[in-house]
Structure 1
């Protein structure tokens, strides 16, 4: 009876519920997955500030089954890590899985998808960002010319103001016409 380990305080769990799409039970499941990535580094009890100070290296996070084969795994880790390194604290990891959950809204998913494709973090998806995105997606299997053709087609479809860049509003417009987006921007816990 007295052997129950308290991973988080009730207040911590309540705070996590308030800022994610998860229940208490799901938060604890996410924590177990996080701890399994590096059990020597991540303690069983995180009732102090460990949840936002102890980070698991990007190399271990990229080995998650949901990320392992994803061509954007490194970029995803960098976008969700608080310092941009790709190394993740539990708070970062929980945020990532919350955004990729079925409960997250289309707008939240679109916001983070835009950040993932905006490689230079300037708030615009430029031709260079598109080229990097396509190159990652096709895993360097196309020539530079073929990548350029695809980027031109994307701009034709998405660049409504003809400035050769995709703004967040233009990106959102494209996402609203892509019904498969919600099912592809998704990870199960």
Structure 2
């Protein structure tokens, strides 16, 4: 699987499926492999930040710089594991884990008021002032039983998102 120019064997496919908790069917794995090979322009066996940024939808995403920290240098197996959070079959926990990682940019296992403000700033740009963002965030935290001094863990995120399922499902086109 290191050389992206080779084809996947049945063993490779099953290994990738197992690595991503069987959230993708074999045909989806093959389609993802084809896309991975297209992105891995130099056939190095991993996708660089520049290669990810060549995808217009990724480059235009206001969170692309945060996501790049998570995806830069992914090999195929880890690429599929990353994408598995976007599967309709992914559990709430898997989806929220990805969201949590976006907010926890320093990877300390905690999300602070400041961390959330940075993401809100990335998402809202000049459409909201910092004062407006702080007001909205303080209200949301208060309604969830937290304060601006709280540090949120993954379990807190799961509790907060527990009443709604994040809409982040992506369908994998199968040829």
CA RMSD between the two structures: 2.3
Query: Equivalent residue for 2:132?
Result: 146
Aligned length: 166
Normalising by structure 1, what TM-score? Answer: 0.76
Query: Equivalent residue for 2:68?
Result: 77
CA distance in structure 1 between the aligned counterparts of 2:65 and 2:148, rounded to whole angstroms: 30
CA distance in structure 2 between the aligned counterparts of 1:159 and 1:167, rounded to whole angstroms: 14
Query: Equivalent residue for 1:57?
Result: 48
Shift of 1:164: 2.1
Gaps of 5+ in 2: none
CA distance in structure 2 between the aligned counterparts of 1:65 and 1:187, rounded to whole angstroms: 16
Gaps of 5+ in 1: 43-49
Q: Is the 8 A contact 1:99 1:109 kept in 2?
A: yes
Q: Is the 8 A contact 1:159 1:165 kept in 2?
A: no
Shift of 1:135: 0.5
1:162-181 equivalences under 5 Å are 163-179=149-165, 181=166
1:35-184 equivalences under 5 Å are 35-39=37-41, 41-42=42-43, 54-64=45-55, 66-79=57-70, 81=71, 86-160=72-146, 163-179=149-165, 181=166, 183=167
2:151 counterpart SS class: coil
Normalising by structure 2, what TM-score? Answer: 0.81
